[in-house]
Structure 1
Amino acid sequence: MASEVPNTRKGFLLLETGLHLLAIALVYTIQSSVIPLQDLYKLTGFLTAVSALRVLSAMPESNKGAISGAYGHQGGILEYLCAVLLGLVWGAVPTALEYTLGANISTQSIFPLAVIAVGLGVFTGSALNTRLLMAFAFPACLLPIAWHAQLQQIPAVTSWSLALLALLAVAQASRGIEALIERFLQISRGNTDLVKNLAQTRDEALAAQAEAETANQALQLEIAEREKAEQKIIASERELSRILDDMMDTYFQVAADGKIARVSPSVEIMLGYEVDDIKGRPWNDLFATRQAADSFRNRLESAFGVIQNHEVRLLHRDGREIWVSINAHYRQDARGNTEGFEGVARDTTEARLAKDNLFREKELWQVTLESIADGVITTDLAGHVSYLNSVAEHMTGWSIDEARKQPLKDVMQLGNEADPGEPVELPMEEWLEKGKKADLQEPAILFRRDRASESAIELSGAPIKNLNAEVIGSVMVFHDVTKLRALAMQLAYQATHDALTGLINRVEFDTRVEQAIHSANRGEKQHAMFYMDLDQFKVVNDTCGHPAGDELLKQISGQLRSALRESDLLARLGGDEFGVLLVGCPLTIAEGIADKLRQLVEDFRFVWEENLFRIGVSIGVVPINSTETDLTELMRAADSACYVAKENGRNQVHVSRPDDAKIAEQHGQMQWMQRIQRAVEEDEFTLHFQPIKAIEGSLEERVHGEVLLRMVDDKGTDAERIIAPLAFLPAAERYHLMPIIDRWVLKKTLHHLANNTATTRHIATCSINLSGQSVSDLKMLNFITELITETDVDPRRLCFEITESAVIANMDIAGQFVNRLRSIGCRFALDDFGSGLSTFDYLKRLQVDYVKLDGVLVRDVATNRVSQAMVHAINYVVHVMGMKSIAEYVESDEITEALRKLSVDYAQGYAIGKPEPFC
């Protein structure tokens, strides 16, 4: 092999090559005057080629196969053949030249010397091989000698004979040198084998270390000289021991008997054993199970004594199992007998756990991607598809195998939702070049590959980055929003239309009215708006139920729609309220249209299950002109006009005009609505207490009185700051604000009573007014009971005053309300009795504790006999039913005396006591 050639042989070959070239140069220099230059060039080239072939034949790379023979001084067959050929060339060339030129050039030239020089080159280039020198010398000299002898050219024969003798002398003298070289080469080969064995030992140590070290640190041991081989091997062993002691992986040697012979200190970190504790223990005892030990042994045997990265569970000293990766191989003695095995073990528990977690996460990721309802596609940096989940496959019509490596634009064929023929570009530049998240901004349609179907989609994408934050691809998520878009359109319709009648609703009507206001403000057109409220609609609902009411609304909607122009707008504003917007219609014409609609509704007859109903409609009309009017003011004016129409007797049309006094009054009530809401939120109400005393002092000794509500104005003097209830309660009743006022009064009163202050400690009965709106609300009933429980006020101290109107409006709910609170100890008084259309039947149907006589009867009871008779009659019936009477507005002693004579139980008024601040 090439690596076995001694360095001296290489030097000899280089020397031979130099001598060949020198000889050729001498021939060229000396014989150029005799030999034609052209022939000399040919000769030189030919000799150079043959010399090169000789040199190459002697190189180790050419001594191959069957023809190579033994290398060294013996030479190979090819090398001998080249030497003979070279001799023939150097012998035949001068003879051929003389024959051709007819001159005795060989005796006049340097050819014999050149042959000697070339012979020496062959001799030295072949590592002083005498046989190779003879193989060259005899053909090179004998051929010219024979030629010149035939021609009887004695000088030439002499020159060539001397050349042959010189070469033979060199060969004879070199025999001792050849023997010496042979001996030297044998020693050299022995040293080479020894170095080879030492290098193999070093390589094995380095391989074991390379397998153990995570960083694959290489330990290179140089053996430069034979004298230092043993010292370096010892140093290598020491270095290996140091590495084994320092490395984190655990090195082990197991003897042929299966017991641990050697182990590195890192075993304490890996298994918890000290080195002395584990030496001599059976190797199989370290495994977590017998099967794990057998698996290791079987794999080592089946792999011809070498295994790598064998993962197995070992048993830690504390009993827990750990995962390790083992690299091991058989150990052999000098005779090649197996004497056990050795290797390294690396703790891979954390890596195994990480691998298992990664596998689970990958499985979870894949299951998640296959389970979600969204399509997912990933691409590489060139924008070619690398992954599709099943949803994306279904939506695009491409399988993952077909789509992989395809451009994304070919897989996702998108069109504009408004114009499907117009393509939509994905924001690939944002994802892949700028590394930003980006969504598909315009509504898009995704076509299947076969164009069999299409889907409206929403798509978002983001770049995929590696650990170095470098973009390596993109991922996009898209989902089918076809149904969602249809649902959105449906929801948009439902958001602007009434579900029952199909008319536009209040929100859309307000939008259209605002547009009309802007149009009028720009001076383009005049418009008009109607606010319509059906009369007697509640009668239909209460008589036949809500299905009948719904049917009535649908039929009325159809009637009204048929009477309007296509450009006019009809809306259901809520309940039985409708709105009409007449576009481009002056007020004079609008008033006629309003009356036409009123007459249409009046003439309409509604039939439901053999019941015939006539209804009406109250209409408020407001103009929309160039005056600066906003939507709120316009709707308020229309609502007020409609309310005035109802106040005027219902089934009327009322037009809102700037100087309309009734509209102004309604506006005032609407302002009170806002003022009341603020007073509740900011505690701008106050309570007063007016005593109620027994006309006969023996009836009751403790205090009895009524809580009265007042509003505090933030302007004016102290006397002017108190606002009487008659100023704001009508507005509160109209706009259904009485329940929140009643809640405020109840909370303040009960908490004040619960504090048990000097002003409340002696109150035996505290009367609190409840509106009809509160009495008809069963939620108020729960509020009162919870408030009594919270404040721990004795319910027997509470007396709730309700009016006749509240009882008449809903006798059943009022009865439940009264009976429930009376069952826990509360008392009730029927207020303003005798002021309306009351009958004594109410007293029989409704169980109350007190009946308060209206001030209209009490004011002139001292002077008017009719009033006296009425008070006497009511008082008599009240007593017969076990109730007590209370007279209101007792303003003088004369009235008090008259009431005493009529046997009235209690009196309330300025003659008894004025209202005083309560809390």
Structure 2
Amino acid sequence: MFGIKYIILLAVILLSLLAFGLVWYTTETYQQLVFDDHRQSIQNLLKYRTSEISQTLIKKQVKLASRMQSDEGFHQALATGDLESLNAHLKQRLSQSVSSTENVHLKSILLRNADASLMAAAYEDDANSYNGCPVIIDQIREGNEQSRQKAKITLCTLNNNLMSEVVVQTGTQESAAYIHIIAYLGDELISIGDEINLPITIMGNRGLKLYQSPSWLEVNQSKNNSTPVLYTLYGDDNVPGLVISSIFDERLLRNQVDSVYFNIIIVAGTATFSTLLLVLLLLFYSFRPIDKVRESLGEVSNDRFVPINVESLRNELRDFALAYNAIILVLEDASLKHEVAERDLRSERDFISKTLDSITDAVLVVNSDRILKLVNPAAENMLGERELDLKGYAFDNIVTFFSNRSLSHIVSWEKLLINPQQLVKLYYQGKDSVKELEMMASPMLDLDREDVGYVLIFKDITEDRMLRRKINYESRHDKLTSLLNRKAFETKFDDMIAESYQSSYQHVLVTINIDHFKVINQSCGNDAGDLLLKQVAKILSQNVRKSDLLSRLGPDEFGLILAYAELSVAADTVNDILANICKTGFNWEDVEYPVTASAALISFSDIEDDFSEVFSRLNSGAMLAKQNGGNQYYLIGDDDIKVQEHQSNLSWVAKINTGFVDKRFELYAQPIVPVDGEKDKLFYEILIRYQDEDGVLIQPVEFLGAAERFNLIEKIDRWVISEAIHWIVKNPELKDKVQLSINISEASIMSSSFHRFLFQILQTDLVDASNFCFEATESSFVKDVEKSVEFIKKLKSLGAKFSLDDFGSGLSSLTHLQQFPLDYLKIDGVYVENILKYDYSTVFVSSITRVGHSMGIKVIAESVESIEIQNKLSESGIDYLQGSIIANPAPLEEIDFNQRY
């Protein structure tokens, strides 16, 4: 039975022979591909050069036509229609072309008139005249004026040859003609043989040989060694014109291919032989481990237990070697156990020693008699002694620990060990300072579970405690003023509330705000602002009791809790603080700045509100004090209406801002109808409503005051205008029917940015300003009458209208009426509502109506709530009516503009 080595060798030989056969077959195929590729290359070369020569001939023909065009005599003869002279010119050109450097073999030169009829002609052979290919003549006749101006080119078959024909227009527009030049293409192709360095034969379409290279017969003598290559050139009439044949001697190419073939066979044979040799070497080295097994078995008889390397062994030999190695390992194991145990002991001892040395805590080991047995470096540093000087001494005779920082109470050894495995806080007098320690004692037990000593671990927590105390302080105090911060102050407040539940003690909570702090901080810088805050904090500290609590609650805000104090006493204290702040002032870089503060006080005991709610009322009180001029305090009483109103306004600030985002605002409209019934446009006043979370509609009187106070009214004005314009753009069918009256606040009238916004939006392409009337109260113009007049004029120049609202509510109404270029004025609703009760209201309405009419202003009466008032107003000459008797305000999107009032 053959061994595995011989099986592998046989398989490799078979694979090598197969590979050699594949190489042989591939080489034969390669020879055939080479010859086919060479033939194709020659054919492509013939095609390429034929195309190039054809294009060159055409260029020569076009050039000849161009020279004829530039001949004055030719043009004169053409213009006069002198056919004899034209024939002479054509013959002259025909003869010159043969003798010229271009050496073009021409068949004919023809001259055709505009309809392609023959006018004059010159032939190479008059007996064999040729007047051109019908294809090109049809192109002349069928083309338009533009296409006729372009040169026309074609190849046509004629009498066993292929003719290149070119037609070029010449003459003027009145005497247009065509020069028709016909040349032999076959004569031009003779040079191909020299260019490709191969013999060629050019045959006509009828088999007539036009040209044959001199070397053709020499190459073609051995037909077995020559291969012809043919290329047929067709005319534009799709008739075969010329057949160009080339022939090449295969012997040179075959010699080159045979050389390559021989080299491949040599390389393949060498590679096969090398592979066989390499396999033999690999088999030799692969089976060397079998010899090693035999040698190792021989060593066993000599009592040498050398294991066999099984990395290269396979199958049964590997199993046998593994069993052999297992026996050796068992024998060696016994002799190594002692060495291993000793090494482990030494390693463990080194590990314990290094571990103790690396521990930053002090570690001491004492036996049951309290004698020191081991001390690590950290313990040496703590005790200030070396281990050699400590070992062998009783621990309690060397070290004394105390239970307090003042070192007045000594802790006994028994007390230290009363609770093993638990942390004990101790104090120890070090060389430089008292150290705060944490100690834990772990008992050591022998095999009988008897105590044989203790491991004592001491951790120095002095710096940790100091850091914690520092962090705790900083977490509760303001870094700049060292007063309590807001969080700590709130905690103290909650603690005092909890205490008041038990005892009903009375306390006073105070907030103090520096007036105009931002002015100093921005004009003098942050350093000046910080110094002012420290100064105020110092004044506060000097004017309160030790039992009172001080805090910095915000950038320029301080908090104070006067513990166990009556409100009147607290008010006196706060008054003194405000007086001292004002008296002290503030000096920065030798400049004195006046400083005042505003405060608010509230008494508390067992209130149920949390700090944020109480502090919100305090903030409102402080704001009221600021609004009253500052440098004063505000006492907040139970159910304080002013504070509640201020808080309500503050709540509306958030509601207004979120209202834009949540789309809670909605446009309403109320009609303004003419008394006489004539309507140029439907007139509506645009109103605004706010819908709260419960879907309840809020009237503008509830939130516009807050919007004006907190500078949000201009934002509301912009929203109303934008939405109204968007509605008009969205309803183009109402563009010529509706006029919307929109209220503008005083803040918007005085705002230059609002002016830019309004003028820009009214001048956009989709907006017609005549759809809008803007109205404002007369009090809105008092601040800057000149600016207001300019604003109204600009609006009117764009096509908008303007109305004065609540006319009569001010003290100078007639003066304003004369100053402003108005379109409408609305009489204040108070006069309209009282027109049936008081005669002066009737007189006022009638007078204002007459005054308005005398100035060309139409008058609107609002708040018309009954038929009686409507009739009374009609008698007064009022132009327009607005009120619930006409129609209540309704959502703009729901109004029926076809309804008549």
TM-score (ref. length: structure 1) = 0.38
TM-score (ref. length: structure 2) = 0.39
